[in-house]
Amino acid sequence: MNPASRAPRAALVAALACVLTFAVAYLDRVHAQAESRQLAVFSLQATYSVPLVDINGLPYVGLVEVLEPLGSVDARRDGKKYKVQFTPPGGKKAELQFNEGRDKGKVRGNNFKIAANFAFQGERGYIPLGSVSSLLAQLLSTQIVLHQASQRLFIGGSETRYSLDLRKGTPSRLLIGFSSPVNPTIATEPGYVHLKFQRAPVVSSGNDSVTFDDPVLTGAFFSEHDGMAQLDITGKGALMANFADGGKTIIVTAAPITAVEATPPLPQAAAPPAQTATQAMPRPPEAPPAPRFLVLIDPAHGGDDIGAAITPSLPEKDVALALARRVQHQLAIKGITSSLLRTGDTNLSLDQRATWANAVRPALYLSIHAANTGKGVHVFTSLLPVADVSRGGFLPWDTAQASFLDLSSAVAGSIAAELEARKLPNTTLVAALRPMNNIAAPAIAVELAPNPSGVESLANAAYQDTVAQSIAAGVAAVRGKLPEVAP
């Protein structure tokens, strides 16, 4: 190569690298903005989020996405019409009908006007965000409060309120009391403690800005945005926060507070192999400080990973998420707390799923799949030899599940028995599945296959509900065998 030509070529390479760096940064910002476009929904039976879609400059939400966690839903498109049947737990079936391009519909046989025209995206129907509260009020006959600017929806008096109690002393302490337990993300920096409530329905107690006459703690400021609430405590010097009263009180002070003694930890899985993909690891959800029983539900696939093509218009990822929401709903009815690893169309790697699950430390990890082959419901446990690992140690990443196989098998057997009681064909299997092998907790996978009526049954609300009821009943039956876990 001519040395004289190397300099221009090097300059061109450097310029292309700068352009690529800028493009990646821009795409990251766009992705972050898209991720924040979620409606956070809080009810006494479920907490979940629904993607917001921009249609003609207005935020819209999918009807099925809003209604599924709140009851049984059967929806279908008929030309320009969208027909929905919704049945809340213990309530009467309601029929809804909307027409594409029109701002009027029918709810329980009565005329219902929405803020803008009803719209379709593919086979899914969407209504304006501003009309969600009035629609749910008619369907659920309970109080509905929508904070549209901050993208937060509260159903049936689910709000959690807080109070501030400054106790002066050496040092002074600020006791923040909540009407129900909370689990915020806590971040500190000199002069600030930031409490971010992404999964709790915390609302203002009437005064968003409070100033304290104290040499250390100077104020508290409440705000809400992007589907979450935030409470910032200001002061002079370094501040610290700690939980008390089972998560119903957070104490902020200038001095350390002895943590409440926790139960001995379960063994943790070792760190996963180094990531080679450019996708950033998701932030693990925070776990409460006190021992608790949590089922982590992982709807398989998502994003570009559609899973199996159940039909040309129905990917596995959508069936998995729909069934996962129904399972969460049925667990809530039985008083069992659960969380969805993904609540929208998000693509997560297998290592990311396992890392997140191990960070949350669930009492049970439940992976949800669907298939267009086979018959009935397939319940899987991991194909690993049983291992006896002492409590408190680290587990090999590739075989972390081995020491939990006895409990995993007990859960699988209990769910299979409930499926049998409901006359649903089922098979219990073992397989070398990831990320299940990497989970340091009891873990199973449930795969929904067609019932005798054919592959279309995978989208049938009644079929999914029966399977979800079986799963919830099976988990409830063996709950006493599964440990409540401290973070």
- Give the whole-angstrom CA distance, residue 394 versus residue 178: 36
Helical ranges in 271-336 per DSSP H: 316-333
- Which amino acid would we find at residue 462? A
- Give the whole-angstrom CA distance, residue 70 versus residue 84: 14
Architecture in CATH of 286-481: 3-Layer(aba) Sandwich (3.40)
- Which amino acid would we find at residue 387? A
Q: For the purposes of burial, counting CB atoms within 10 Å of the CB of 252, is it exposed (0-12), middle (13-18) or buried (19 or more)? A: buried
Task: Name the strand (E) or helix (H) holding 136.
Answer: helix 132-140
Please state the separation of Cα 432 from the chain's center in Å. 26
Strand runs labelled E in 264-363 = 268-269, 294-299, 309-311, 314-315, 337-340
Q: Tokens 């207005």: give the residue.
A: 58
pLDDT of residue 318: 93
Please state the separation of Cα 140 from the chain's center in Å. 23
- Give the whole-angstrom CA distance, residue 376 versus residue 449: 5
Helical ranges in 288-423 per DSSP H: 316-333, 350-360, 405-421
pLDDT of residue 275: 52
Which residue, 67, 167, 164, is CA-closest to 124?
67
Spell out the SS3 assignment of 247-259. HCEEEEECCCCCC
- Give the whole-angstrom CA distance, residue 5 versus residue 10: 9
pLDDT of residue 404: 93
Please state the separation of Cα 387 from the chain's center in Å. 31
Q: Tokens 């039956």: give the residue.
A: 477
pLDDT of residue 120: 95
- Which amino acid would we find at residue 465? D
pLDDT of residue 266: 56
* Positions in the chain short of pLDDT 50: 1-8, 10-36, 256-264, 276-281, 287-289, 391
Structure token pair of residue 59: 């935020």
Return the number of other C-beta atoms located less than 10 Å from residue 226's C-beta: 15
DSSP per position, 198-261: SSS-B---S-SEEE---SSEEEEEEEEETTEEEEEEEESS--EEEEEGGGTEEEEESS--PPPP
* Measured distance between the N- and C-terminal CA atoms of the chain, rounded to whole angstroms: 61
> Where exactly are the structural domains of the chain?
38-155, 162-253, 286-481
Structure token pair of residue 63: 């009807």
Given a contact cutoff of 8 angstroms between Cβ atoms, the answer to whether 271 and 359 are in contact is no
pLDDT of residue 14: 47
- Give the whole-angstrom CA distance, residue 331 versus residue 44: 12
- Which amino acid would we find at residue 48? Y
* CATH number attached to the domain at 162-253: 2.60.40.3470
- Give the whole-angstrom CA distance, residue 197 versus residue 239: 19
Task: Name the strand (E) or helix (H) holding 34.
Answer: helix 3-36
Burial per residue of 159-177, b for 16 or more beta-carbon CB atoms within 10 angstroms, e otherwise: bbebebebeeeebbbbbbe
Q: Tokens 């809530």: give the residue.
A: 332
pLDDT digits (tens, 9 = 90+) for 358-403: 878 899 999 999 999 889 999 999 988 766 655 455 678 888 999 8
- Give the whole-angstrom CA distance, residue 169 versus residue 172: 4
- Give the whole-angstrom CA distance, residue 178 versus residue 399: 41
Structure token pair of residue 214: 């104290």
Side by side, the strands of the sheet bearing 240-244 are 162-167, 173-178, 249-253, 240-244
Same topology between domain 162-253 and domain 286-481:
no
pLDDT of residue 453: 87
- Give the whole-angstrom CA distance, residue 252 versus residue 195: 11
pLDDT of residue 348: 84
